[in-house]
Structure 1
Amino acid sequence: MPRPLKLDPDRLFPADAATRAVARALYADVASLPIVSPHGHTDPAWFAVNEAWSNPTELLLAPDHYLFRMLYSQGVSLEALGVPSRAGPSPADPRAAWRLFASHYYLFRGTPSRLWLDHVFADVFGFDVALDAETADLYYDRIAEALATPAFRPRALFDRFGIELLATTEGAHEDLAHHARIRASGWKGRVVTTYRPDAVVDPEHEQFAEALARFGTLTGEDVGSWKGYLAAHRKRRADFRAAGATATDHGHPTARTADLAAAEAEALFRRIVSGNWTGDDAELFRAQMLTELAAMSVEDGMVMQIHPGAFRNHNLWLHRTYGRDKGADIPTRTDYVGALKPLLDRFGNEPRLAIILFTLDETAYARELAPLAGHYPCLKLGPAWWFHDSPEGMRRFREMTTESAGFYNTVGFNDDTRAFLSIPARHDVARRVDCAFLARLVAEGRLQDWEAAELAHELTYGLVKRAYRLDDAQTLAA
């Protein structure tokens, strides 16, 4: 007998009845606000081409490393789940992969992935029975039938979800043809890009040489020279601004910055492009480039996002076989106070600079990040990210940062996802958790109810638009 699937309308609200009532009232005022998604990894081709997804595995399972990292930890192979490898597409039958996923769905009990997926299954597809081995084919067939209809094309879902803006992420060496096609189509959905130069900034990136060559071709600059390399960044940033970008993104291993003299920076660059560099040189070059790119942000107004602290591709065999973003990235301890000092010495008091800091190291919230953002005008705190993009992670973020940084030195929520259908679910979780946190402050006499109502709106909608300068997009593109 299939088990029922029902979303609790009070999920994530406080257990105490009086506090729960406050959370309900706050949530009711923000639940239907537009979604602003300023940083994610969805594929712009979906919205440029607007073709139907072919099956549930292609859409919901194969792109989502949150799902298959858990399955892999329990001995399920990525090939059997339909995940492509470096050698090419997986030979797995999509239905068989879905059945395998469904038979292991119990592994996600208590995880944010379970919250998001149940929301998708119930709210987007209308299921009222839970996913398991018994209902796998029912799910597969009904989802496949839905995906074949016009109502489930990417643009239709974008409109249905109430998305006001969605920012994708492209490398500095990638063309922006899909974004050009979106703009030329006449569709009113606002899909913009984000400048992610990691592949041409990190000498240890496996695509560095290839990406650097492509970078030079796209810009017409001599990227083998320090002057030409920096000029190429400025040209590409202008291209991205023309495609709607208001932000850059930097996923470095650490938050280290440097401010070398011009001759030192040029000598370091020569070592990098010659291939005669050490690991210390690579780290110093990434550090110097954060400061160089901050200088460019002062010039052009683009908001910097720094996402440090992941040991990328920790599973060497998996990386060699399947490539990046396959669930093997692991958080590390991260320093911010010392690491950011060179950049902040140069630009920390610059009113034109905006930097949003993220972390995978929660021990840094109260000790380093909140005090830094609570002082420097250029710094804001990004929301709980990746491994901490969860109800408990969001609560911890508010508890550890609010007393030092307040609410207004944070930037609302961003979903940072490749899983398009989970975007409304992720934003709904963030809205519920923030309303629960605010309700507790009201119940404890630390906020007035009208203050909490204003804050709920700001945390949902206002802060993100200001932090990412979204209303200034036309100015940035000029």
Structure 2
Amino acid sequence: MPSSIANHPDRLFPADRAVREIARSLHAKVENLPIISPHGHVDAAMIANDASFPDPTALLLSPDHYVTRMLHAHGVDLAQLRVGGSQGASPLEAWKIFAKNWHLYEGTASGYWLRQEFTEVFGLDDLHIDDEHAESTYRAIEAKIAEPSFRPRALMEQFNIEVLATTDDPLDSLEAHDRLAADPSFAPRVLPTFRPDAYIKFWGADFAQRADKLIQTAGDGQAGYDGYLAAMANRRAYFVEHGAVSSDHGAQTPTTLKLTRDEAAELFTKGLAGTASYAEALAFEAHMMYQQAAMAVDDGLVMTMHPGVHRNTHPHTLETFGPDTGHDIPFAVDYAGGLAPMLADFGTAPGFHFIPFTIDETVFSREIAPLAGFYPSVFIGAPWWFLDAPDAMMRFRSAVTETAGFSRSSGFIDDTRAFCSIPARHDASRRVEASFLARLVAEHRVTEERAHQIIVDLVDGAPRRAFKL
């Protein structure tokens, strides 16, 4: 009978024995360092309320589009997986569908993370994730999540998470964050992140209502575009007061545009009226990326950008199950040209930090690393989404290091809604970094002593530096 590979001490390490020994030593240096997660999508209220997780399917399957999209590609109806609140099957029946198809995840990043979760978090034999053992594994996880020691606050401590940033609506009261910050018995830092996308994109169905509410709430009594800008700045200040260190922007492209006040106001009026063309909507978004950078220079929030994704490409799935359900598709981007207006004015501004992320691998070595290799404001965003996988992370490290070195990185970003996958994702990144550095040591390009210093900085120093922690 085959043995489990989930707990193999050399997973993701080089096959060459000599290089593997070096990787082992490097990984041991950082294996137990605290997790710093400066960008993700875990709900702060879940942690603050500290309620038990509802069931194994709701915890591990339904909200994880990495998992559900694979099953959908093989003909499974998303309703059967309880995606978007649908109840086409019971939680146990959904789990049985997943277990029967577990073999589909071999070689995938999501399969790697899940295998680690099953063994290290839930104490399961991952060889028993199959049709025969589906109900018994479901019941084992069900019993585990019912334990008091498996509630979110306890897991934050068990996972050794020192910092966890959430992603939050600009008008969120941040009450859950305040409760956690005020609790002397809770050591981890749970930080809000200002995410204004829905208040910037004209093509959102409720843009006008959102923009109007933003102005009414925080516009200093001003109307129109002037009130809108004032409200953005005021809500950013509110987030800073409540612990935020960054703003995040899921822009369509990395384009920035410096419009006059009157040009921007005219576009904003069209956006409210629903008469703006798509090109005008993109122009306004690009202008607001420039404005968000200008605000960041003033208030100190780190600006992160996640462009280059065709969102919600399948209309029926969007209508039935909602957004973030697995049908977003990457496209190529132009960072160097797109960021030119913003970097011309703010690229060397004291204290401004800008972190570009991409899922267009071609820009790592061609654009992002050269930008970070010149502008003191630019830090290289870690591999994200389709690229936060072992081989892609190795390609990333190879692509950017020769131009920008190790010190210009953001640190690993797990970007996850799947709370229990956080330790596995961070450990995978640490193993990849160890493997990359081990090769440089074996090739006599970096000393082993220096490699030990570098890997600690990559895991711990880089996110603290880039995100001003």
Corresponding residue to 1:177 among 175, 183, 188: 175
Q: Could you tell me how far 1:223 is from its partner in structure 2?
A: 7.3
In 2, Cα distance between the equivalents of 1:180 and 1:90?
Answer: 34
The residue type equivalent to 2:64 in the other structure is D
Q: Which residue of 2 aligns with 1:312?
A: 311
The structure 1 segments of at least 4 consecutive aligned residues displaced by more than 6 Å after TM superposition are none
Q: Do the aligned residues in 2 keep the contact of 1:84 with 1:90 (CA within 8 Å)?
A: no
User: What are the Cα deviations for residues 448-478 of structure 1, in whole angstroms up to 9, with x where unaligned?
Assistant: 11110011101111110111001xxxxxxxx
Equivalent residue number for residue 33 of structure 2:
33
- 8 A Cα contact 1:69 1:328, kept in partner: yes
Q: Is the 8 A contact 2:296 2:302 kept in 1?
A: yes
Question: CA separation in 2, counterparts of 1:217 and 1:178?
Answer: 23
Opposite residue 122 of structure 1, the aligned amino acid is: T
TM-score, normalised relative to structure 1: 0.95
Does residue 161 of the first structure (1) align with residue 167 of the second (2)?
no
Aligned residue identity for 1:260: L
Give the structure 2 partner of residue 81 of structure 1.
Answer: 81
Output the CA distance in 2 between the equivalents of 1:287 and 1:34.
37
Matched, 1:445 2:459: no
Give 3-state SS (helix, strand or coil) of 1:228's partner.
helix
What does residue range 6-405 of structure 1 map to in structure 2 within 5 Å?
A: 6-84=6-84, 89-130=86-127, 131-186=129-184, 187-219=186-218, 221=220, 224-405=223-404
2:336 partner SS: coil
Equivalent-residue separation in structure 2 for 1:183 and 1:242 (angstroms) = 12
Deviation string for 1:245-298 (max 9, x for gaps)? 100000011000001122222222222222221111100000000110101000
Flag the 1:210–1:105 CA change in 2: closer, same or farther, 3 A.
Answer: farther
Between the aligned partners of 1:34 and 1:54, the Cα distance in structure 2 is: 27
Give the aligned residue type for 1:177: E
Counterpart residue type for residue 49 of structure 2: V
- AA partner of residue 110 (structure 2): S
SS of the counterpart of 2:360?
coil
Q: Is the 8 A contact 1:172 1:196 kept in 2?
A: yes
Shift of 1:214: 3.4
Decide which moves more: 271-280 or 194-203: 271-280
Q: What do you get for the CA RMSD once the two structures are aligned?
A: 1.5
Equivalent residue letter for 1:132: D
Q: In the aligned structure 2, how far is the partner of 1:144 from the partner of 1:300?
A: 45
Query: Over residues 295-344 of structure 1, what are the superposed CA-to-partner deviations in whole Å (9 max), with x where a residue is unaligned?
Result: 10000100000100001011111111111100101000100111111111
Instruction: Note if contact 1:69-1:327 (Cα within 8 Å) is conserved in structure 2.
Output: yes
Q: What secondary structure, in the 3-state scheme, does the structure 2 residue paired with 1:276 have?
A: coil
Counterpart of 1:476 in structure 2 is: none
Deviation at 1:14, TM superposition (A): 0.5
SS of 1:191 mapped into structure 2: strand
Shift of 1:222: 5.4
Q: Cα gap change, 1:25/1:279 in structure 2, threshold over 3 Å: closer, same or farther?
A: same
Partner Cα separation in structure 2 for residue 351 and residue 232 of structure 1: 24
Q: Which amino acid aligns with 1:125?
A: F
- The question of whether the paired residues in 2 share the 8 Å contact of 1:170 and 1:193 is answered with yes
Measured in 2, the distance between the counterparts of 1:52 and 1:116 equals 22
- What TM-score comes out, normalization by structure 2 length? 0.97
Quick one: distance in 2 between partners of 1:214 and 1:141?
Answer: 46
Q: State whether residues 173 and 212 of structure 1, in contact with CA within 8 Å, keep that contact through their aligned partners in structure 2.
A: no
Aligned length in residues: 467
Shift of 1:394: 0.4
Please report how far the alpha carbon of residue 392 of structure 1 lies from its aligned counterpart in structure 2 after TM superposition. 0.8
Q: Which amino acid counterpart does residue 357 of structure 1 have in structure 2?
A: P
**What per-residue deviation string (whole Å, max 9, x for no partner) do you get for residues 56-75 of structure 1?**
00111111011001111111
Deviation at 1:138, TM superposition (A): 1.5
Is this contact kept in 2: 1:158–1:189, CA < 8 A?
yes
Q: Secondary structure of 1:203's partner?
A: coil
SS at match of 1:379: coil
Identity level (%): 46
1-structure distance, mates of 2:321, 2:389: 27
Matched, 1:458 2:444: no
Stretches of structure 1 that go unaligned for 5 or more consecutive residues are 471-478
Summarize the Cα distance change of 1:17–1:27 in structure 2 as closer, same or farther, 3 Å threshold.
same
Q: Residues 172 and 195 of structure 1 are in contact (CA less than 8 Å); yes or no, is this contact kept in structure 2?
A: yes
Corresponding residue of 1:473: none
What is the one-letter code of the residue matched to 2:125? D
State the alpha-carbon separation in 2 of the partners of residues 461 and 150 from structure 1: 30
- Cα distance in 2 for residues equivalent to 1:5 and 1:369: 35
CA contact (8 A) 2:208 2:271 kept: no
CA distance in 2, matches of 1:75, 1:223: 52
Query: Match for residue 474 of structure 1?
Result: none
Contact 1:57–1:98 (8 Å) recurs in 2: yes
Tell me, what secondary structure is at the counterpart of 1:325? coil
Give the secondary-structure state (helix, strand or coil) at the position aligned to 1:304.
strand
Contact 1:357 1:382 in 2 (8 A): yes
